[in-house]
Structure 1
Amino acid sequence: MSQRITVIDYGMGNLRSVAKAVEHVASAQDEVLVTDDPELILNSDRVVFPGQGAARDCMAAISGHHLNRAVLEAANSKPFLGICMGQQVLLEQSEENGGTELLGLFAGQVRHFPGGVAPDGEALKIPHMGWNRVNRQTDHPLWQGIDQDSRFYFVHSYYVDPQQQDLIAATTDYGVSFASAIARENLFAVQFHPEKSADDGLRLLKNFVNWNQ
């Protein structure tokens, strides 16, 4: 059966790479649509919410495209995948710029990495950029076929700190142990970039496309 998979376009994020990766793992009958139309988003079967950049700019772009309600309704009603900033803005507030209000779907803060020193004695650079291990905390369907401690690609200076610990679907260590994936019912969101994470990233996207939650 064919389905429409919508990638939300609010002017920020690596949208084409995400859309191409989703097209690669979707069936030939599926439609992958990049759009900022709230009606199309809410009439889709699945929604991907990517993003990158600064939290304040991201929130301004979401509001400017009149997408606040559509994002929240989609996150509460259909299979929904948040990527990078698309994970962070689901929380209440970011430490960026002395405090930036976010969408507030989940209680919690988005915090700046403290820096520090890696086990090998090297200084931890901010942003956290490159490949790092993801330690699954749940047996979520989106992890199917992905080994424990598989490596995914990250680019970020902030990380989510949800108030509800049972939201955490995976953790990653970078000076601190942080939530690199969160999940609830129909929603899954990751800090890393599956579209840049080789075979395991494509497997996660394929699992999302086929997810019957």
Structure 2
Amino acid sequence: MQVVIIDFGSGNLKSLYTSLERAKKDLNNINIIVSNNSIDIKNSDKVILPGVGTYSDCKKGLESITGLIETLEEVVIGKRRPFLGICVGMQLMSTFGLENSKTQGLGWIPGKVVPIDPSSKVATGLTKPKIPHMGWNEVNLNSSHDIFNGISKNSYFYFVHSFHFICDLKDNILATVDYHQSLVSVVGKENMLGTQFHPEKSQLLGLKFLSNFLKWNP
């Protein structure tokens, strides 16, 4: 099985690659590659789209590589190969984002990406949230999806983000995180998954999450 990490000039590619190499250690015949070549992507069994930076810049990065978005559409939507978006890679699955300017996303999961509300306060009257939401936080699982196999409901993962995904359909929300308000942390639809947290920065639980993705057969 071949797994491709999409290289479009954004994301912790080296860290993610290293984490996937560790996550696959108990699995057989898995080849991890980093590429933006259409042939490599079409020949891969699973696709991972990382992303660090702004929504608009990451979308421009995808558009700057001739045929990349069309190839992703063919492989992920057409051939229904398992897909994982990470951080902005997850956000790009939305209909549009409002970071810097309104930017059209891939449109794979209906919804929008908007700023975390800095005026939001919890009921106890604590101070306003610091933006970005950065550090370890507890993920609330809303689903028994295979991606959570072996991951308990009170598990902590590592986040760094100032914008969040508002899904149009509740069925697409697999997990949330509380940061003075409820924010989407994992989305899913058919053969597609996306995570706001960084599994490659989330130590053993992050490796478990990536291992589950490598095993996942939707």
Structure 2 residue aligned with 1:111, among 108, 111, 114? 114
Q: Which residue of 2 aligns with 1:88?
A: 91
Structure 2 residue runs of 5 or longer lacking an equivalent are none
Counterparts of 1:94-173 in structure 2, within 5 Å, are 94-115=97-118, 116-117=120-121, 119=124, 121-173=126-178
1:53 aligns with 2:58: no
Partner of 2:100, secondary structure, is helix
Match of 1:44 in 2: 44
C-alpha distance in structure 2 between counterparts of 1:177 and 1:163, whole Å: 15
Distance apart, 1:123 and its partner CA: 3.1
In 1: Cα distance, 2:8 partner to 2:202 partner: 23
Map of 1:207 onto structure 2? 212
Aligned residue among 168, 178, 203 for 1:198:
203
Give the C-alpha shift of residue 42 in structure 1. 1.8
Aligned to 2:21: 23
TM-score, normalising length from structure 2?
Answer: 0.92
Instruction: Give the direction of change, closer, same or farther, for the CA distance of 1:73–1:174 in structure 2 (3 Å limit).
Output: farther
Q: What's the RMSD between the two structures over aligned residues?
A: 1.4
The one-letter code matched in structure 1 to 2:207 is L
Using the size of structure 1 for normalisation, the TM-score is: 0.94
Q: Aligned residues, how many? A: 211
SS, match of residue 121 in structure 1 = coil
Structure 2 CA distance for aligned equivalents of residues 74 and 132 of structure 1: 33
Comparing 188-197 with 92-101, which one deviates more in the overlay? 92-101
Percent identical residues: 38
1:19-44 Cα deviation digits (max 9, x unpaired): 11111111363210000102211210
Distance in 2 of aligned mates of 1:7 and 1:16? 10
In 2: Cα distance, 1:87 partner to 1:43 partner: 22
- Report which stretch shifted further, 152-161 or 71-80: 71-80
**Distance of 1:201 and 1:74 partners within structure 2:** 25
Give the Cα separation in 2 of the matches to 1:75 and 1:209.
15
Within 5 Å, give how 1:67-82 maps onto structure 2.
67-76=68-77, 77-82=80-85
